[in-house]
Amino acid sequence: MRCPFCQSEDTQVKDSRPAEDGTSIRRRRHCNACGARFTTFERVQLREMTVVKTDGRREPFDREKMARSIRLALRKRPVAEERIERIVASIQKQLEADGAEELSSREIGGIIMQRLKDLDPIAYIRFASVYENFRETKDFQALLQSLDG
């Protein structure tokens, strides 16, 4: 594992334990070159998945990209990081369990929207405004009416 501080490959694992969500291993590492300590997480990946974007481009599924978009929607909302991590792990597990090697970005976005709708209405609106590419205030009004009704 390369040190994120000095880029040296001379690192050692000092401690390993299951992460709180039980789906990954947390490893504390030490860089022998610069002395820095850092943490890495190791997760099981059942299969390689490809995301098909709306314009037809294909790119490898990136768990961290999905996590960043969820965290951005939940920014400054009263949701613990552990809960966010469980949601991300759950969505990834659902996508892998479906067995498809190619996933549409619309499908992934729809799953994220449903989870956010159940979790936090403000985060849901934030995510939906980007996902659905809102252009006018009436787009927000229609979404808010669907939440109320």
Q: pLDDT per residue over 43-93, tens digit each?
A: 665 567 899 998 999 999 998 999 999 999 999 999 988 889 889 988 988
**What is the pLDDT of the chain when averaged over all its residues?**
87
Backbone angles phi, psi at 52, to 5 degrees: -100, 115
On whether the CB atoms of residues 121 and 63 are closer than 8 A, the answer is no
Q: Cβ contacts of residue 104 below 8 Å, gap of 6+?
A: 51, 52, 54
What pLDDT score was predicted for residue 45?
Answer: 59
Distance of CA 94 to the CA centre of its chain: 13
Name the pTM for this structure: 0.66
Residues 116-140, mean pLDDT to the nearest whole number: 86
Q: How far apart are CA 37 and CA 98, in angstroms?
A: 38
What pLDDT score was predicted for residue 44?
Answer: 65
